[in-house]
Chains A and B, each alone.
Chain A
Amino acid sequence: MTEVMNEKQPATARFVALHERFQAASIEPAWLVQRRRAAAERLVEMGFPTTRDEAWKYTRVGPIVDRDWELPGVEIGVAGTEIERFTTWEDDAYRLVFVDGVYDAEHSRLDDLPEGLIVAAHSTLLREQPDLLEEIEGRHVEHAIDGFKVLNAALAADGAFVRVPRGLKLERPIHLLFVASGRAEVMSNPRNLIDVGDEAKAFVVERYVGLESGCYFTNAHTEVYVGCNAEVEHDKIQRESEDAFHIADLEVHIERDGRFSSTAISVGAKIGRHEVQQVQGGPNTCCTLNGLYIVDGDRVSDNVVVAHHSRDHGRSEQLYKGILDDRGLGIFNGSIIADEGTKGTDAHQTNKNLLLAEGAVAETRPQLEIYADDIACSHGATVGQLDPESVFYMLSRGIDEKTARAMLTHGFAADVIDRVGSAETRKRIEAYLAQRVSWAGVKVKEED
């Protein structure tokens, strides 16, 4: 075993060692210990992805996996005022806060939960209702597994657990906030389970922010279950520090007549990856997956979307836009899969990229795997620059070039931003863009 491991990828060895240390220091139910061990073994078997893997073709993970990481401690190493910068502005939200992967009860807000609604940290649930956690975790079916996902399963120390009972239509959003202190070499593995019952409705915001620049690593896994005729809206904001790594995947299971919509805004991290998989649990589902990614410097943003249609009458729509500056690399890898014999699939995909500098690169890979006859499907991808005619039009009205370019860049992203569910988040993103899209190498540290 050791020999194979070393040959294939010695990088996994240090993560396995982390797992052993983690397990030795914690007391957990047998099923969880077993799950972690199995995941660690899987990691050794499969290794981390390389650019030979289709789904990772353009992203080199060496800087992440050839590095010694520490697991988060138990103390919260950030002043409360720093965290409050991010908690004051979703006034009406239920909130779970994690700092460097550690649950921060003080800044979480779980009062006035309606009957039957569970919003809790995994660590709390493990203490108070371990059976429920086991039930939900046991339901999990793995899709497109890779080294990072099994790493999360092996090392996840905490995360959000949300259960919306059947028929409850939540008025208030649920805000999951992951704050990184920026302390170097810390790896956290948030694991979030969101289970929305039949006929229920929920809006969940997942937000990852870095306070200081520091080379840390967030390896997140989020699963959403959308019950029959349930409706779930999801925003994900990734604004990690610019020296950090962020690898995340979102798995969405949609039952019959369920509707799911997600908008992912990715603006931070040195290497950032956001992967979404749609899994149909029943017919007549609706899934909208939007994304906006912004990179500059030498940063990389990798976006993977898989709309898998395995049941009849599934609708899916993907709208992803990239703004790429300096020597940034933006990747969009979007699949539409329609299984043989499925009927009435309606699947659409659009990816547009705006290059703001000569050195910036957009890789766009639409992939269609259509084995069904009865399908309406479209896809389109563009890579372009700001339209000089539009710039001149604005100049001719007295607007200076910097402002004109900023307005046009914002205009390019506007239709994705409009789909962000939270008005306050939209406002923040717009302010962020307005400041940041000077695109003259000027970095603004905003209040987001």
Chain B
Amino acid sequence: MMLKIENLHASVHGKEILKGLDLEVKAGEVHAVMGPNGSGKSTLSYLLSGREGYEATRGRVLYDGKDLLELGPEERACAGIFLAFQYPVAIPGVNNMYFLKAAVNAQRKHRGLPELDAMEFMGLIEEKLKLVDLKKDLLSRSVNDGFSGGEKKRNEIFQMAMLEPRLAVLDETDSGLDIDALKAVADGVNALRGPERAMIVITHYQRLLDYIVPDKVHVLLGGRIVKSGDKSLALELEKKGYGWIEQEVGAV
């Protein structure tokens, strides 16, 4: 089991958001976590990536059998966890390419691999540009600075391609995208699927799952996974909304 979340309770600035969440993800699987606003989707993604202010109060998260919550965010990244942000920040003055190189080499160094030199790094860029549809000139600009919504999300997926994580968490990667950008992002994600890699796709809408077909679908409601199923569950949610589940599992 790559990721095992057991009875996870977590609070943000003192308010309990996750209330006993269980989730198991194996290598090679793509899991969709769906839920209405305020159900704890983003909290889950930030908790997995180690954001400050997101505290687990009970339960545990095991990644490759080890306690994930012990690790700092950069250690988690180096261990192969990647978060595609819902709202990627713009960093004026920091060159996108330079940023990527710092990230790739920090992770390589952590794994005992030699750092890539400029030539090798450019080679990797070219290789990954074949997987993700990203305008090349965005790489020579400041990170996400002045990027459109779609460009930011493509840039996230491109970073994922460059960093080759073992577990990718995509936090509402579909939000705010037109259909072309959505397809481009989905194509990038699909190109990165593989037997060694797991993905957790967090989304509000079923639409993204037409393009990224999940192995499992979970419904997050009131801070817990209340229902799991295969991709047909997503279609059902699309048709019927979340209300029927709320009734099914009782008041939240």
| B106 & A387 in contact (Cβ 8 Å cutoff) | no
A410 located at the interface, meaning its Cβ lies under 8 Å from any Cβ of chain B in the complex: yes
Number of interface residues of A (CB under 8 A): 23
| B51 & A408 in contact (Cβ 8 Å cutoff) | no
Interface segment, one of A195-203, A231-239, A395-403: A395-403
Listed residue (B49, B76, B77) with the most chain A CB atoms within 10 angstroms of its CB: B77
Q: How far apart sit A399 and B104, CA to CA, in the bound complex (Å)?
A: 9
A393 located at the interface, meaning its Cβ lies under 8 Å from any Cβ of chain B in the complex: yes
Q: Which of A388, A397, A410 contacts B163 (CB 8 A)?
A: A397
Q: How far apart sit A411 and B143, CA to CA, in the bound complex (Å)?
A: 10
CB-based nearest B residue for A415: B93
Q: Which of A387, A396, A401, A403 contacts B102 (CB 8 A)?
A: A403
Q: Which of A388, A395, A398, A411 contacts B110 (CB 8 A)?
A: A398
Q: Mark A383-395, 1 if CB is under 8 A from B, else 0.
A: 0000111101111
Contact partners of A411 in chain B: CB under 8 A: 91-94, 142
Q: Which of A393, A398, A400, A415 contacts B91 (CB 8 A)?
A: A393
Tell me which residues from 403 to 424 in chain A have a Cβ below 8 Å from any Cβ of chain B: 403, 407-408, 410-415
Interface segment, one of B17-25, B81-89, B122-130, B183-191: B81-89
Tell me which residues from 45 to 79 in chain B have a Cβ below 8 Å from any Cβ of chain A: 49-52, 72-74, 76-78
B99 located at the interface, meaning its Cβ lies under 8 Å from any Cβ of chain A in the complex: yes
Number of interface residues of B (CB under 8 A): 29
Contact partners of B209 in chain A: CB under 8 A: none
B159 located at the interface, meaning its Cβ lies under 8 Å from any Cβ of chain A in the complex: yes
CB-based nearest B residue for A397: B103
B107 located at the interface, meaning its Cβ lies under 8 Å from any Cβ of chain A in the complex: yes
Contact partners of B93 in chain A: CB under 8 A: 410-415
| B94 & A395 in contact (Cβ 8 Å cutoff) | no
Listed residue (A389, A393, A400, A414) with the most chain B CB atoms within 10 angstroms of its CB: A393
| A395 & B72 in contact (Cβ 8 Å cutoff) | yes
Contact partners of A413 in chain B: CB under 8 A: 93
Contact partners of A400 in chain B: CB under 8 A: 74, 106
CB-based nearest B residue for A403: B102
| A399 & B94 in contact (Cβ 8 Å cutoff) | no
Contact partners of A395 in chain B: CB under 8 A: 50, 72-74, 77
Given contacts A395-B73, A396-B50, A408-B94, contact A403 B106 (CB under 8 A): yes
| B85 & A397 in contact (Cβ 8 Å cutoff) | no
CB-based nearest A residue for B77: A398
**Shortest distance from the beta carbon of B208 to any chain A beta carbon, whole Å:** 21
**Shortest distance from the beta carbon of B140 to any chain A beta carbon, whole Å:** 13
| B91 & A401 in contact (Cβ 8 Å cutoff) | no
| B89 & A399 in contact (Cβ 8 Å cutoff) | no
**Shortest distance from the beta carbon of A1 to any chain B beta carbon, whole Å:** 55
| A398 & B106 in contact (Cβ 8 Å cutoff) | yes
Q: How far apart sit A411 and B51, CA to CA, in the bound complex (Å)?
A: 22
Contact partners of B77 in chain A: CB under 8 A: 395-398
Contact partners of A394 in chain B: CB under 8 A: 91, 99, 102-103
CB-based nearest A residue for B106: A398
**Shortest distance from the beta carbon of A431 to any chain B beta carbon, whole Å:** 14
| A399 & B85 in contact (Cβ 8 Å cutoff) | no
Given contacts A411-B93, A413-B93, contact A399 B88 (CB under 8 A): no
Q: How far apart sit A387 and B159, CA to CA, in the bound complex (Å)?
A: 21
**Shortest distance from the beta carbon of B190 to any chain A beta carbon, whole Å:** 22
Q: How far apart sit A414 and B89, CA to CA, in the bound complex (Å)?
A: 18
| A388 & B52 in contact (Cβ 8 Å cutoff) | yes
Contact partners of A393 in chain B: CB under 8 A: 85, 88-89, 91
Contact partners of B89 in chain A: CB under 8 A: 387, 389-390, 393
* 16 intermolecular pairs with C-beta atoms under 8 Å apart: A392-B51, A392-B52, A395-B72, A395-B74, A396-B82, A396-B83, A397-B74, A397-B103, A397-B106, A398-B106, A398-B107, A399-B106, A407-B98, A411-B94, A412-B93, A415-B92
Q: Given A388-B52, A414-B94, 20 more contacts at CB 8 Å?
A: A392-B51, A392-B73, A393-B88, A394-B102, A395-B73, A396-B50, A396-B51, A396-B73, A396-B76, A396-B82, A396-B85, A397-B77, A397-B106, A399-B103, A401-B74, A403-B102, A408-B94, A410-B93, A410-B94, A415-B92
Query: CB within 8 Å of A: which residues of B?
Result: 49-52, 72-74, 76-78, 82-83, 85, 88-89, 91-94, 98-99, 102-103, 106-107, 110, 142, 159, 163
Query: CB within 8 Å of B: which residues of A?
Result: 387-390, 392-401, 403, 407-408, 410-415
